[in-house]
Chain A
């Protein structure tokens, strides 16, 4: 018996050693995830949730920023660069392969590389700063810090390069550029005819930001809110600027709030980890904020193909080819390689979308210098210097609000716009349609200096003589901001607290339009819902049952209207849905059906509608996600919270009030390390709509 046991036990050990190696890694208390408990001390402090960098000169500041960004957010930075460069499946395996194919095909990493070469050649001073930032990151990595996500995945972080920083900027630009909207619109136009196209392009119900019609002369050769209030209307007699850009909500947040102090300037605001510059912020002289204009800078071209040759302007041309190699690694770090041939035409890379082959031309695939723009904007001391920076900003075009200590407030739609005929539907590339004839610098046309007050919420920038885009956000957020400012102005001067109240507002004024719709086309259930809405203040509070029914009505109306066309139900703006129903392009009976579905809801809005903010590894390790809590608001409230599992919303609430202070709140924590007590430190205060004064 003893002999049997003596033989049997080594056999068990050998058997046990054949379990998947990653189990040993996860259980290893010394070289596994537990090692992350022993994290080195921070290189730069987080004061009041703000990363503070103090440096003797710019180079040192960029170096310290690189080191600190890596310390607090390296895993997030790595994921972002890998998404942009199509290398995520090396880290996360097969699940990320489709994403890799998507981005590698579109070639963001190629344009990032070209932009870096251009910067080195033409702006060596700035290139040196990026190199300092990169050195800071790599010096942090050289210490082989225990980062919990890598210890879980069993991977080692790879060194950073300046191109990675620029690739992240390209990724952000892409995410704000509209993606495949032209192709999706074609689906709807094919199904509903030119009447739908007319509706979509006119957007007559939308409120333009600029009160005048603008004219573009022939060239000489995701939702957010921001607003500015001029000194005449504020308690302090100085301008107030507010901004809450609506982006994906993630753990950790997409932004890091930083203050960089050098002998020549101090700038504070939010930056994307992996990029050194403040994107939205203030330097004490000027303050600025962004929302996306969404102007259309992506076009798609289809051709007559013959193998890898395409017909273009009367001749057959062999498409250029590039071979993309992918490495897909599993949890045990066993990797396989795959390759993909990507064709390129004169217009750009060839992509497959909904079974059709298109070539894609995107403004961002050129050499673009947004980083340089932000560098100058971060240091600007007046509107002239600010505009000097803005001229380098190419894409994504932003509704840029500006305020300065001298009392100037201004609005500019930043970026460049390619002039061509149309641009909203795919072009016949073989016939030479849709060629870009030049670019307009948008601030030269779309600007407003010293408005009394002005708000932007991704709504129409202006009525113009050319097509800019058609998917302007519905006017409700914009109109509500303007309404609230007007109300407060009528009562007296506006304070910072008033502005905070506006950012927290959860009244959905689309209810007025919906009431009209129900009145016109509702049946028995429609009337019942209308009666309920008539007694309601349109506040999308988490405790409200009517709010839940209202949201369900909106959701079902969109779903019934557009779901059958195989497009996302939020693809078509609500104003277009209303107009399409009124015109009879969409059956009016859906109003009654949507009301019927809405009335089935018997639970408060907060039970259906929760913040759902996830970490990249959160699907496997839910403890990494922020806790789910009731979310007020909806698609159309200033405090936006679209959908039911809310993973999109105010990615920062920022207020720069000259003469008072700078206030902010992030939807999460400044520290991306899940073991840090600061990992989610600002999350609940953000949910409650609180602020910290940071300057």
Chain B
């Protein structure tokens, strides 16, 4: 169950497609996705790979634009690499922060 929730959490940043607010799309949604991801992660290793996990929604977005118009996407990346880096870094950072936060606030199993 928690595995599936974690998978779904990776898709939370994609909800930004319906939002006009940049802060929500760039920071808060990845953060919320990260919180869910961390909350349902049992091992520290799961949190450690959160920055890599954050690249999954990035890849989905790139695939979406690639399907719409691959040539334009390639030109965008070549003309504005800074914007792409900024986006990827923001998502990775906020998702990871969320994951750490979710991990520390998750209910712990009682010590045996």
Verify A9–B101 contact, CB threshold 8 A: yes
Within 8 A of A (CB), among B57-104: 61, 65, 68-69, 71-73, 75-76, 78-84, 86-87, 89-90, 93-94, 97, 100-101, 104
B22 — nearest CB in chain A belongs to which residue?
A24
Residue B11 CB within 8 A of the other chain: no
Verify A6–B104 contact, CB threshold 8 A: yes
Number of interface residues of A (CB under 8 A): 35
Residue A37 CB within 8 A of the other chain: yes
* Chain B residues touching A, range: 35 or more
Q: Please indicate which of the listed interface residues B19, B22, B76 has the most CB atoms of chain A within 10 Å of its own CB.
A: B22
Residue A211 CB within 8 A of the other chain: no
Question: Considering the chains assembled together, what is the distance between the CA atoms of A212 and B73 in angstroms?
Answer: 60
Residue A450 CB within 8 A of the other chain: no
Which of B2-10, B23-31, B48-56 makes up part of the contact surface?
B23-31
B29 — nearest CB in chain A belongs to which residue?
A30
Nearest-Cβ distance from residue A443 to partner chain B, whole angstroms: 47
Residues from chain B with a CB closer than 8 A to the CB of A38 are: 65, 68-69
Verify A29–B61 contact, CB threshold 8 A: yes
Q: Knowing A6-B105, A39-B69, A39-B72 touch, does A32 contact B79 (C-beta < 8 A)?
A: no
Nearest-Cβ distance from residue A570 to partner chain B, whole angstroms: 33
Verify A13–B65 contact, CB threshold 8 A: no
Residue A338 CB within 8 A of the other chain: no
Residues from chain A with a CB closer than 8 A to the CB of B87 are: 27-29, 32, 34
Residue A10 CB within 8 A of the other chain: yes
Which of A15-23, A198-206, A292-300, A406-414 makes up part of the contact surface?
A15-23
Residues from chain A with a CB closer than 8 A to the CB of B27 are: 13, 16-17, 24
Nearest-Cβ distance from residue B21 to partner chain A, whole angstroms: 8
Within 8 A of B (CB), among A1-47: 2, 5-6, 9-10, 12-13, 16-17, 21, 23-34, 36-39
Verify A676–B80 contact, CB threshold 8 A: no
Verify A28–B25 contact, CB threshold 8 A: yes
Verify A13–B31 contact, CB threshold 8 A: yes
Residue B20 CB within 8 A of the other chain: yes
Q: Please indicate which of the listed interface residues A9, A29, A31 has the most CB atoms of chain B within 10 Å of its own CB.
A: A29
Q: B84 is contacted by which of A16, A21, A34, A674 (Cβ under 8 Å)?
A: A34
Residue A621 CB within 8 A of the other chain: yes
Question: Considering the chains assembled together, what is the distance between the CA atoms of A608 and B87 in angstroms?
Answer: 38
Residues from chain B with a CB closer than 8 A to the CB of A24 are: 22-23, 25-27, 90
Residues from chain B with a CB closer than 8 A to the CB of A623 are: 78-81
Residue A445 CB within 8 A of the other chain: no
Question: Considering the chains assembled together, what is the distance between the CA atoms of A679 and B78 in angstroms?
Answer: 14
Verify A26–B94 contact, CB threshold 8 A: no
Verify A26–B16 contact, CB threshold 8 A: no
Nearest-Cβ distance from residue B14 to partner chain A, whole angstroms: 9
Residues from chain A with a CB closer than 8 A to the CB of B84 are: 34
**Main DSSP-derived SS at the B contact region:** helix
Residue A363 CB within 8 A of the other chain: no
Bits for A116-158, please: 1 = Cβ < 8 Å to B, else 0: 0000000000000000000000000000000010000000000
Q: Knowing A29-B61, A30-B16, A674-B79 touch, does A37 contact B73 (C-beta < 8 A)?
A: yes
Verify A30–B90 contact, CB threshold 8 A: no
Verify B69–A30 contact, CB threshold 8 A: no
Residues from chain A with a CB closer than 8 A to the CB of B1 are: none
Q: Knowing A27-B87, A621-B80 touch, does A32 contact B22 (C-beta < 8 A)?
A: yes
Q: A624 is contacted by which of B31, B68, B79 (Cβ under 8 Å)?
A: B79
Residues from chain A with a CB closer than 8 A to the CB of B65 are: 34, 37-38
Question: Considering the chains assembled together, what is the distance between the CA atoms of A95 and B45 in angstroms?
Answer: 50
Verify A27–B79 contact, CB threshold 8 A: no
Residue B17 CB within 8 A of the other chain: yes
Residues from chain A with a CB closer than 8 A to the CB of B100 are: 5, 9
Verify A5–B75 contact, CB threshold 8 A: no
Residues from chain A with a CB closer than 8 A to the CB of B23 are: 17, 21, 24
Nearest-Cβ distance from residue B74 to partner chain A, whole angstroms: 9
Verify A27–B83 contact, CB threshold 8 A: yes
Residues from chain A with a CB closer than 8 A to the CB of B69 are: 37-39
Q: A26 is contacted by which of B17, B83, B97, B105 (Cβ under 8 Å)?
A: B83
Nearest-Cβ distance from residue B19 to partner chain A, whole angstroms: 7
Within 8 A of B (CB), among A310-366: none
Residues from chain A with a CB closer than 8 A to the CB of B75 are: 674-677, 679
Q: B26 is contacted by which of A28, A39, A674 (Cβ under 8 Å)?
A: A28
Residues from chain A with a CB closer than 8 A to the CB of B72 are: 36-37, 39, 675-676
Q: Please indicate which of the listed interface residues B25, B61, B69, B71 has the most CB atoms of chain A within 10 Å of its own CB.
A: B25
Residues from chain B with a CB closer than 8 A to the CB of A148 are: 76
Question: Considering the chains assembled together, what is the distance between the CA atoms of A21 and B27 in angstroms?
Answer: 11
Residues from chain B with a CB closer than 8 A to the CB of A29 are: 16, 25, 61, 87
Q: Knowing A13-B27, A39-B69 touch, does A26 contact B61 (C-beta < 8 A)?
A: no
Q: B20 is contacted by which of A21, A31, A675 (Cβ under 8 Å)?
A: A31
Question: Considering the chains assembled together, what is the distance between the CA atoms of A676 and B69 in angstroms?
Answer: 10
Q: B90 is contacted by which of A27, A37, A621, A676 (Cβ under 8 Å)?
A: A27
Residues from chain A with a CB closer than 8 A to the CB of B28 are: 13
Q: Knowing A16-B94, A24-B22 touch, does A37 contact B76 (C-beta < 8 A)?
A: yes
Residues from chain B with a CB closer than 8 A to the CB of A676 are: 72, 75
Question: Considering the chains assembled together, what is the distance between the CA atoms of A676 and B86 in angstroms?
Answer: 23
Question: Considering the chains assembled together, what is the distance between the CA atoms of A2 and B23 in angstroms?
Answer: 27
B99 — nearest CB in chain A belongs to which residue?
A9
Question: Considering the chains assembled together, what is the distance between the CA atoms of A32 and B25 in angstroms?
Answer: 10
Question: Considering the chains assembled together, what is the distance between the CA atoms of A17 and B28 in angstroms?
Answer: 9
Verify A33–B80 contact, CB threshold 8 A: yes
Residues from chain B with a CB closer than 8 A to the CB of A25 are: 22
A624 — nearest CB in chain B belongs to which residue?
B79
Residues from chain A with a CB closer than 8 A to the CB of B19 are: 30-31
B61 — nearest CB in chain A belongs to which residue?
A29
Question: Considering the chains assembled together, what is the distance between the CA atoms of A545 and B26 in angstroms?
Answer: 54
Verify B86–A26 contact, CB threshold 8 A: yes
A-B contact pairs, 10 of them (CB 8 A): A9-B101, A12-B97, A13-B97, A16-B93, A17-B23, A27-B83, A29-B25, A33-B83, A37-B69, A675-B75
What 10 additional pairs, Cβ within 8 angstroms, besides A37-B73, A39-B72?
Answer: A2-B104, A6-B104, A13-B27, A27-B86, A28-B87, A30-B25, A30-B61, A34-B65, A623-B80, A674-B79
Q: Pick the 4 closest A-B CB pairs, nearest first.
A: A623-B79, A24-B22, A27-B86, A27-B87
Q: List residues of A whose CB falls within 8 A of some B CB.
A: 2, 5-6, 9-10, 12-13, 16-17, 21, 23-34, 36-39, 148, 621, 623-624, 674-677, 679
